Amino acid sequence: MLILDIAIRFLKELFRLKISLVVLLAMPAFMGFMFAFAFGSVGLDEAETYTIGIINNDEGIGDGLAAYLRSDPILLNNLPFNETTLDKGFAADFIDILNTTIYQTDEEKSEKRIFSVLEYDDQEIGQQAVEERQIDALVVFPENYSNTTLSAFNNAFFFQNSIYIHNLSYLPYWSYNGPPFPINENSEILIIGDEGYSRYQIAKIILDKIFSIFNEQIKALNYAGGNLGFSLAPITLEEYSIFDIIFPGILVFAVLMQAGMMAAFLVAEFAETKTIARVRLSLIKPYEYIAGVTIYAFVISFIQLSILMVLAIVALGFNPAGNVIEAMIVLMLTIVFTTALGFLLAGVFKSSDTAGQSAGFLMTPLAFMSGAFMEAPTITILPKVFPTASGLNRDFVLWDILPSTHAVNALRSILLYEFSILDVWADVLFVIIPSLVLLFFSMIFYTKRRFRGDIPN
């Protein structure tokens, strides 16, 4: 098949050109190490207090069970909560903890609170506050949060002792006579926010850490009669760095840089080896040539991104929360955008060096505009219209016209916040649709310039 012949030809040329091969393999490694070196030691800001909104839908511990526990001090004293929890539920306990959690800096407690908590009764109002950036994130406790927590205690107890709490009856001086403890109850705490907003990104990381500590504490309940207590030590953010947050942006930057390499190869065929004249005089149709080049770009990008991803996970300490394969799918879709840029550059420039250098100059600001490294200035075009992964509507800003902006957002949501590719459908659509439109026009432009126009001597 001719399209594959063209792709294979480009790949053979690249792999046999040792310098290109070195660049191909070393560039992602270099890029990964460079960014890890630059940002890996930059911790998250421990002087900031993040404002979070709370929607507490927790219906608390069921009345029958709560009444029984109040009447059974032996059991209650051996559970890691007290009568206040029985009155208000676990979510309220948790909210108190969030309110009082402070940073730990250099092994000393600071006086700085991590969160300022605002409680909302209405989720819509809370979401509006997020959209207007009055709060950095909105935490929604589900109705069965307390039951889920009790279920977690009960399940952990069963795991250790092969018996549920409510089945305990063999002690000579005590047996359980109350209603059953919940088992296998599930619920999910929602953390809603704009994944492209840096304060949300950091607040989310801290919240995730607190929830994970809480889950670990539940697992630590390993025998009846212990006194686990439920407390939260001051939080240290030393293990988190800016690198974790910007890594999705680095991946997109790596994809954007592909445009330069692709353009350089295409321009070389036009201006240096002049083999484009042979292609043009043959029966190869422009779309076949373009499709072959696109396949080539996909293969090369896939190799480079895989190297970068593996390196980041294995050697640079990046810990993806979400599905790496889904992230790779988003990146592959972004290559359509890069390919379009590559054809535009190849249609404009007449020397491969100039094309490659110009691509470098263009792609770096493009990455910044896309918010790859830091949040780009907000220039709102349409307020509160663009759906985020957590279901909010955020402003459609100027940079949203760039598919790369949506690639960064989608990757952050998937890799950092564990959303699925389906949750970021809007970003995925805004990656692929404008990219395909741009690819269409860049193909026409390239065809007109290199397959129809003059090829000078």
Partner 1 sequence: MQTLSELTDIAIEVTNLTKTFGKGEQKVEAVKGISLTVKKGEIFGFLGPNGAGKTTSLRMIVGLLLPDEGKVTIFGMDPKDGKNSKTLKKLLGIIPQEISLYEELTVEENLWFMANAYRIQKESAANRINNLITKMGLDSKRKSLVKNLSGGLKRRVNVIMGLVHDPVLVLCDEPTPGLDPQSRVVVWEFIQNLPKEGKTVILTTHFMEEADRLSDRVAIIDHGEILVLNTPKKLKASIGEGDLLEFDLADDSEEHLQKMADLLKGFTTSKGLTVEDAYISEGRMVMRALNVIPNLAQILNRIEEHGAVVDNMAIRNTTLEDVFINLTGRALRN
Nearer to partner 1, 324 or 444 (CB): 444
Nearer to partner 1, 273 or 378 (CB): 273
Cα gap 213→201, rounded to integer Å = 19
Strands 190-192 and 380-387 turn out to be unpaired
Give residues 297-326 in contact with partner 1 (rule: CB under 8 A): none
Instruction: Name the maximum alpha-carbon separation found in the chain.
Output: 102
Q: Angle, nearest 10°, between helix axes 242-267 and 352-369?
A: 150
Cα gap 68→230, rounded to integer Å = 21
Nearer to partner 1, 284 or 311 (CB): 284
Q: What token pair was written down for 334?
A: 């972004």
Give residues 188-247 in contact with partner 1 (rule: CB under 8 A): none
Nearer to partner 1, 228 or 455 (CB): 455
455 binds partner 1 (CB under 8 A): yes
Q: Which of 186, 206, 297, 271 is closest to 450 using CA atoms?
A: 271
Contact 334, 406 (CB under 8 A): no
Cα gap 400→398, rounded to integer Å = 5
Which region holds residue 371: left if phi is over 0, alpha if psi is between -120 and 50, else beta? left
369 binds partner 1 (CB under 8 A): no
Given the structure tokens 């999910």, which residue do they identify? 188
Number of chain positions touching partner 1 (CB under 8 A): 24
24 binds partner 1 (CB under 8 A): no
Of these, 109, 278, 350, 448, which contacts partner 1 (CB under 8 A)?
A: 278
Angle at 214 between CA 208 and CA 216, to 5 degrees: 100
Report, in Å, the least distance between residue 189 CB and partner 1: 56
Q: What token pair was written down for 151?
A: 């279920």
The torsion defined by the Cα of 83, 85, 86 and 88, in degrees rounded to 10, comes to 120
Q: For residue 141, what are the β-bridge partners?
A: 56
9 binds partner 1 (CB under 8 A): yes
350 binds partner 1 (CB under 8 A): no
Report, in Å, the least distance between residue 21 CB and partner 1: 11
Report, in Å, the least distance between residue 16 CB and partner 1: 4
Contact 38, 30 (CB under 8 A): no
448 binds partner 1 (CB under 8 A): no
19 binds partner 1 (CB under 8 A): no
- Give the interface segment with partner 1, choosing from 152-160, 209-217, 274-282, 424-432 (CB under 8 A): 274-282
Contact 168, 84 (CB under 8 A): no
Report, in Å, the least distance between residue 280 CB and partner 1: 7
Of these, 242, 279, 367, 376, which contacts partner 1 (CB under 8 A)?
A: 279
353 binds partner 1 (CB under 8 A): no
Q: How many other CB atoms are there within 10 angstroms of residue 107's CB atom?
A: 8
Contacts of 196 by beta carbon, 8 Å cutoff, 6+ apart? 371, 375, 388, 394, 405, 408, 409, 412
Report, in Å, the least distance between residue 290 CB and partner 1: 15
Report, in Å, the least distance between residue 449 CB and partner 1: 13
12 binds partner 1 (CB under 8 A): yes
Cα gap 368→236, rounded to integer Å = 29
444 binds partner 1 (CB under 8 A): no
Report, in Å, the least distance between residue 430 CB and partner 1: 37
17 binds partner 1 (CB under 8 A): yes
Of these, 134, 160, 215, 273, which contacts partner 1 (CB under 8 A)?
A: 273
Report, in Å, the least distance between residue 456 CB and partner 1: 8
- Give the interface segment with partner 1, choosing from 29-37, 181-189, 267-275, 369-377 (CB under 8 A): 267-275
Cα gap 342→336, rounded to integer Å = 10
Of these, 71, 116, 275, 380, which contacts partner 1 (CB under 8 A)?
A: 275
Task: Give the footprint of partner 1 on this chain (CB under 8 A).
Answer: 2, 5, 9, 12-14, 16-17, 273-275, 277-284, 453-457
